[in-house]
Amino acid sequence: MPSQPSPPSSPGIQAVSFDLDGTLYATGPHRLRLLPRLLPQLGLIRAWSRTVNALRGCQHPDLPQRIIEQTAQGLGVAPAEAEARLWFFLERTWILSLTPAHVLPGVVDALTLLDARGIPRAVASDHPVEGKLTQLGLAAGWRAGLCAESLGSLKPHPKVLLAAAQALGCPPGCLLHIGDRHDTDGEAARAAGARYLHALDEHGSTASLPSRLAALLDAPPSQEASP
């Protein structure tokens, strides 16, 4: 009796995407350091955060404008005022205060590992990435920097990860996404058909990220279960 052919192997990891806020740098400690400057903008920050969370997973053709308009409604101000205040908070307060010292442990080694193996990488964040990467000293080496907000849908909608896979030249099933939130990054990866690696280990640290990433890259492709 002829032997049965082996079942096909699952595809290996061909490219990696990273979330930004909370994955490449820690937002909580940064927020505490900025607290004296954030307190006067607390109402704005809360209205913006409520708006972003309410719009997660939805699709809008002009999502950035929708965020501004709903933030303005929450504050009881005109959209133009909300937009100006958001620009000052995000661009002049938050982003400009970032430095390479804020990069989380293990991140640089993880990027170096990918570059050494020739595995392309991209940032897939909810919000604009270029200014943050520049301030963090991490601007080099990315194949793409993708903003879910600009694409019209925030995570856990999979659109930004599907765009990352396309930009990196691999099918979604061969993309590994690294993030810090199971409810946004993890769910977006699942919806896109990509793999997911939580940036934080069981101790809440990113220091082990390079070794955990290397283990995934070195693992043989899994075998599909036989019927």
Q: What does DSSP assign to residue 171? A: -
Contact 183, 189 (CB under 8 A): no
As for how many domains the chain has, the answer is 2
Asked if pLDDT for residue 227 goes beyond 70, the answer is no
29-77 residue pLDDT tens? 888 888 888 899 999 999 999 999 999 999 999 999 999 999 999 999 9
Model confidence at 11, pLDDT cuts 50, 70, 90, reads: low
Same domain flag for 49 and 62: yes
- Verify that 82 and 117 share a domain, yes or no: no
Q: Do both 20 and 130 map to the same domain?
A: yes
Last residue of a domain, one of 49, 72, 97: 97
CA distances to 12, 188, 215, 217 from 223, rounded to whole Å, are: 11, 24, 17, 16
Sheet of strand 121-125, all strands in order from the earlier edge strand to the far edge: 144-147, 121-125, 15-18, 175-179, 195-198
Amino acid at 150: S
Residue 59 lies in a domain: yes
Q: Is 221 within 8 Å of 11 (Cβ atoms)?
A: yes
Identify the domain containing residue 130 by its residue range.
15-27+102-218
Give per-residue burial for 142-158: e unless 16+ CB within 10 Å, then b. Answer: bbbbbbbbebbbbbbbb
CATH number at residue 155: 3.40.50.1000
Torsion 211-135-164-116 (CA) sign: negative
Based on the domain organization, do 126 and 204 belong to the same domain? Answer: yes
Whether residue 130 has pLDDT greater than 70: yes
Predicted pLDDT at 226 = 31
